[in-house]
Structure 1
C-alpha cells in the first residue's frame, strides 16, 4: 500500500521511474536536472516536492544526489481526503504540482519522511500509516497552516496523538488514557491540544466518531442500529441525537443522500 525509497544517480530521459502504487511524490533533497512529463519539463531544485498525478510516466534527466520516491495507494490517500475537504486537497494529484520549501521547512520534511521510512520498515498498520501520510501531505502541501509553525517535536506529538486517537476513539473517552499513551499528564495534554489543534479531547473524539458515522452511513449496508454499536453507543437514540446535532438531520436522512 505504500513504498518509500531513496534514489540516487545519473538519470537519462529515456528511462521512466517505476511506481509500485498510483499516487506519487518526489522529494528532492539535492539534485540538478529536470523532471519530464507530458505536461511539461520541471527543474529539479533542492527542497522541491512534486505531487505527481496518476496518469503519465515520470522521467528524470540529470544527477540526483539524494531524493525520496514515495508511492502509495488510494486506500491510504482516503484518510487525507477525509481530513481535508477543501478543493486544494482534492486537486493535489489531478495535475502535476510542486512546492518549494525554505530551509526550515526542508529540514522538517526530511525528518518526517525519514521517520515515515522507519515506520514502513517496522510494518506499521494501515490506520497509523494513513495518519502519518495525511499529516505529511498536509504539512508539505501547506494545507494545514498551523503545522508550519510547529517544531519538529510538536509535529511528532501531533502524529502520535492522531495515531492513538485513530486506534481507540470508538471505545476510549478518558483524557487519562490518551495522556498515558502520549507519556504526559492530562493537564499537559489538554494544553497541547488547545494550543496545537485548537480543540478539546472530547470535541476531537466526537468529530472523529461523526466523520466515521458519515462514511458508514453512505458507503456500507449497516443499519443505523449497527452503526451505533460499531461506534460505541449503548443506545441508538444517543447516536441519533448526536448525529442530528452534528449534521442537522437524522442519520436515516443522511444515509439517503448517498
Structure 2
C-alpha cells in the first residue's frame, strides 16, 4: 500500500509562548513546504528577492512587501538574494483584549505592498522588536501587535470600511470552517453553530466578500485540495477521502467546476 504523504508541520512557538518577534534569517537556502502549528504569521520584508509560495500561488519577492499567513496556510521560500525584515508569530490568545484587530486579520490578503509606507511600518516594527527583546510585559507586547495590525490594514487603502459586528461574524464563520470543513460542508450547520439564519450568514458573506456562504466553504476545500496536489504525492482517491467526498468522481467533478482542470491536470501543470 502506498504511503500517505502529509504536509510538514512546523512549530516555531513553544507551547507556553504566545508571541515571538524576530528578524528574518540572512540566508537564501530554500525551505520545504510546511504548515504552521497553531499560530498566525505576519512577515514584513525590506530586502530580498526570489519567490514565496503560499498554497498554490507563487509570489515574486520584492523589497517593502508584507505577507499574512493564517493557521492553515502552506508556504515555502526560495530566496535568490539575502532577505531582511521582521517576522511576527502569534497565537490567537495574545489578541484576546483586541478582538477588532484579530478579526480584521481576515481582511488582509496573503501579500500586500508596504511601498511608500515603509517609513511608517519599519520604525514601528523596530520598536516592537526591541520591546520584545527587552522582555517587556505581555500586555505591552500585545498592544504593539494591535497597533501593527491596525496600521497594516491601512496599507490596503482599497479595503471597504465595514461594521465591526459584520467583521466579527465573518471571522467566526471562517474560524469554524477552518476547524470543521472536512466534516461539515452544509451552510445550515454553520449557521446553527453561529446561532444565526442562513439568510443572515449569506448577507455577511455578500457584504464582506461579495460571495455567498457556500462559496466560502468551497474555497476552503479547494485550498486544501490544491495544497495536497501541490505539496504531496497523495493519490486523488486519498485526497477525496480526506475531504470527505463520497467517492473520487465527485471530488474530480467539484475540482473541475472550480478550476476547469481535473486534479491530475492541475498537478501536472503546477509541477512543470
Q: State the TM-score, normalizing by the size of structure 1.
A: 0.52
State whether structure 2 residue 227 is matched by structure 1 residue 221. Answer: no
SS in structure 2 at match of 1:228: helix
Query: Where do residues 11-26 of structure 1 align in structure 2 (5 Å cutoff)?
Result: 19=22
Match of residue 183, structure 1, among 191, 195, 204: 195
Q: Distance in 2 between matches of 1:153 and 1:197?
A: 15
Q: How many residues align?
A: 172
Name the TM-score, length of structure 2 as normaliser.
0.49
- Deviation of 1:38 after TM superposition, in Å, equals 9.1
Equivalence for 1:72: 89
CA deviations 1:43-86 (Å, max 9, x no partner) are xxxxxxx977994478xxxxxxxxxxx7128xxxxxx9xx846x
- Counting only pairs closer than 5 Å after superposition, residues 26-175 of structure 1 correspond to structure 2 as 55-56=83-84, 71-72=88-89, 84=109, 89=111, 97=118, 117=142, 139-142=153-156, 145-146=159-160, 149-175=161-187
Q: Tell me, in whole angstroms, the C-alpha distance in 1 between the residues paired with 2:211 and 2:255.
A: 19
Relative to structure 1, is the Cα distance of residues 220 and 154 closer, same or farther in structure 2, using a 3 angstrom cutoff?
same
**Residues 236 and 248 in structure 2, CA contact (< 8 A), matched pair in contact too:** yes
Two-structure CA RMSD over aligned residues (Å) = 4.4
8 A contact 1:51–1:96 mirrored in 2: no
Provide the residue aligned with 2:262 in structure 1.
Answer: 250
Higher Rg of the two aligned structures? 1
Instruction: Return 5+ residue gaps in structure 1 as ranges.
Output: 6-17, 27-36, 40-49, 59-69, 74-79, 101-113, 121-134
What is the alpha-carbon distance in structure 1 between the residues aligned to residue 186 and residue 227 of structure 2? 25
* Distance in 1 of aligned mates of 2:85 and 2:186: 49
Gaps of 5+ in 2: 1-11, 26-40, 49-63, 68-81, 91-104, 122-138
Shift in CA distance, 246/52, structure 1 to aligned 2, threshold 3 Å? closer
